[in-house]
Amino acid sequence: MDLISLTDGESLLLVRVLGRHMPGVLPWHDFLDAEITVTSGFAQGRLELCLAPDDLDTWSETVATLAAGADAHWMDDGRNPGIRFEHAGEGGSVSAVVTDAAVSGTSVRVPVRLADGWAEQHAERLRRVRAAWPREVVETSPHAYEWRR
């Protein structure tokens, strides 16, 4: 299921959720395996990542920040590849900069024009991801987990 899909016909930034990271294993049950795919006329690449439940919350905040016209950064904790979004002037274009500092040390910048209604579409994508893989684990105290009742 696609959490992020930004494309303008020439460039693509896609974050696809593949499923639970370790289904049935506390505390990893609510973590999600995913992959970032970047495609442009010049570069193409794919990176694996593991989304924590908090990453979905911060993605919601990132969408709101971008929709308000400000630049934003998602997953900047060093655990995963980071994605920085920079507004690129008029016309609803952004540059998405994917940086894999922890593993390969590489980054790629992809310009993408944001389509009308993109923020609402991404809020709906997030809702569908959360519906497909709801939080089922609760941390009762530091490093102590149990199934949500």
Q: Do residues 81 and 36 touch, judged by C-beta distance below 8 A?
A: yes
Cβ(63)–Cβ(114) under 8 Å? no
13: buried, middle or exposed (CB in 10 Å: 19+, 13-18, 0-12)?
buried
Cα three-residue angle 42-91-44, rounded to 5 degrees: 15
Distance between CA atoms of 22 and 108, rounded to whole angstroms?
Answer: 30
Give the C-alpha separation, 91 to 63, whole Å: 17
Strand order in the sheet with 106-113: 72-74, 82-87, 93-100, 106-113
Q: Which residue has the higher pLDDT, 85 or 101?
A: 85
CA distance 80 to 93: 25
Q: What is the pLDDT of residues 6-16, one digit of tens each?
A: 998 889 999 99
Of the two residues 7 and 104, the one the predictor is more confident about is: 7
**Per-residue pLDDT band at 127 (split at 50, 70, 90):** very high
Of the candidates 73, 106, 77, 75, the one whose C-alpha atom is nearest the C-alpha of residue 87 is: 73
The confidence score (pLDDT) of residue 63 equals 96
Q: Give the distance, in angstroms, between the CA of residue 46 and the centroid of all CA atoms in the same chain.
A: 13
- Position 19 scores a pLDDT of 97
The overall average pLDDT reported for the chain is: 92
pLDDT digits (tens, 9 = 90+) for 26-79: 999 999 999 999 998 888 899 999 999 999 999 999 999 999 999 999 998 878
